[in-house]
Structure 1
Amino acid sequence: MTVTEQVPATATAELYFQVQQFYAHQMQLLDSGRVREWAETFTEDGVFAANAHPEPAVGRAGITTAAQAATDAYAAKGIQRRHWLGMVTVEPRGEDAAFGRCYAVVVETPKGGQAAIRVSTLCEDTLVRENGRWLVQHRQITRDDL
């Protein structure tokens, strides 16, 4: 086996930048409570799967419902959540698709309290470009503690 067979395809600087910008925008939407707009960053038939949930949320409507319930529960407890993504890798999968992989740390800050890391996760996405914008077709979140 040659070295090039062992190493996945590398993203161009432009693709890497686009995915980084996409992730930053997407997480800021969720953390600011703009759930419907966040769900619009998934394809119409998108999937949000996590090892912390018994079943994946499927489709924008399902993803919106699940995310809104979680967002409302944290707001009711006075908790601000922030998602911090790092160690991002991007592999091109054709002209309009890519595989994104990153570590995501979720920080929770109760009103008047100290910020604390809540969970550490691995995020793996199948991304597709539709009408010039990146969308998540399938997201798998794996919490490190489960």
Structure 2
Amino acid sequence: MHAPQRSTRPVDAQLYVEVLQFYARQMPLLEERRLEEFLETMTEDGSIEHVPNGWRIEGRKALLTEMRARRGDPDRPLVGEMSARQARADEVAYYDGIVYRYWFDRMRIEPQSDDVLQVGYQAMVSMTDAAGKVSFEPTTTVQDVLVRQDGEWYTRSRRVTHDSPNWADKIHNPS
């Protein structure tokens, strides 16, 4: 059972739009597999964690190594029916042959200070193959910590909590 959502104090429209624009700039970089540019939107020591039963990777260098190994190329053949966990074990580019999109909703912004925000939202990933077949990853909630440095927002940490405890064992793009 999930804990009830605590109330979030309102943020002004300017801050809300700044955060929306940050994600509108950040996530297409990942979708387009512009990994170095995507990671420049994170702090040098930034981390991404997948729970439950997942993994945590810290630092731009380690994240780049992991993303290069998994993100694949949409113009290559589909990897076939494989789970994220199996792809990691077999060193397979999980997203070969797939165009993926990230969809965010119900964003809650909680300022911790003038330069630190906690941003929570629900997220979904759609995957489209060359034939036009669309499939989805299990839904998630995401908790980001954003920090402002030199007037720009960066992700310090991203914790992705999957709604299914067996999310990493779901067969990728099933036939």
Please state whether the residue corresponding to 1:18 is helix, strand or coil: helix
Unaligned 5+ residue runs, structure 1? Answer: 1-5
Task: Report the equivalent of 1:143.
Answer: 162
Matched residues in 2 for 1:21 and 1:119: separation? 25
In structure 1, distance between residues paired with 2:16 and 2:30: 21
The alpha-carbon deviation at position 54 of structure 1 amounts to: 4.0
Whether contact under 8 Å (1:46, 1:58) holds in the other structure is: yes
Question: TM-score w.r.t. structure 2 length?
Answer: 0.75
Identity percentage of aligned residues: 34
Equivalence for 2:80: none
- Would you say the 8 A contact 2:48–2:56 is kept in 1? yes
1:104-125 deviation per Cα after TM superposition (whole angstroms, max 9, x unaligned): 1100011113112222111101
Cα deviation, residue 30, structure 1: 0.3
Q: TM-score, normalised by structure 1?
A: 0.88
Instruction: Choose between structure 1 and 2: higher strand proportion.
Output: 1
**Amino acid in structure 2 at the alignment position of 1:120:** T
Amino acid across the alignment from 1:42: M
Number of residue equivalences: 140
Superposed CA offset, 1:35-91 (max 9, x none): 111111110111111116643110111111122222121453x11111111111111
Indicate yes or no: 2:153 matched with 1:134: yes
Letter in 1 for 2:41: T
Give the Cα–Cα distance (whole angstroms) in 2 for the partners of residues 38 and 68 of structure 1. 12
Residues 8 and 108 in structure 2, CA contact (< 8 A), matched pair in contact too: no
- Find the counterpart in structure 1 of residue 120 from structure 2: 101
Aligned to 1:3: none
Q: Counterpart of 1:96 in structure 2: which amino acid? A: D
Describe the SS at the equivalent of 1:63.
Answer: helix
Superposed structure 1 runs of 4+ greater than 6 Å apart? none
Quick check: 66-75 or 132-141, which moved more? 66-75
Task: Verify the 8 A CA contact 1:107 1:119 in the aligned structure 2.
Answer: no
Q: In structure 2, how many angstroms separate the alpha carbons of the residues matched to 1:89 and 1:54?
A: 24
The 8 Å contact of residues 10 and 92 in structure 1, kept in 2 or not, is answered as: no
For the 8 Å contact 1:124–1:140, the answer to whether it is kept is yes
1:8 to partner: Cα distance: 3.0
The correspondence of residues 47-62 of structure 1 with structure 2, limited to 5 A, is 47-51=47-51, 54-62=54-62
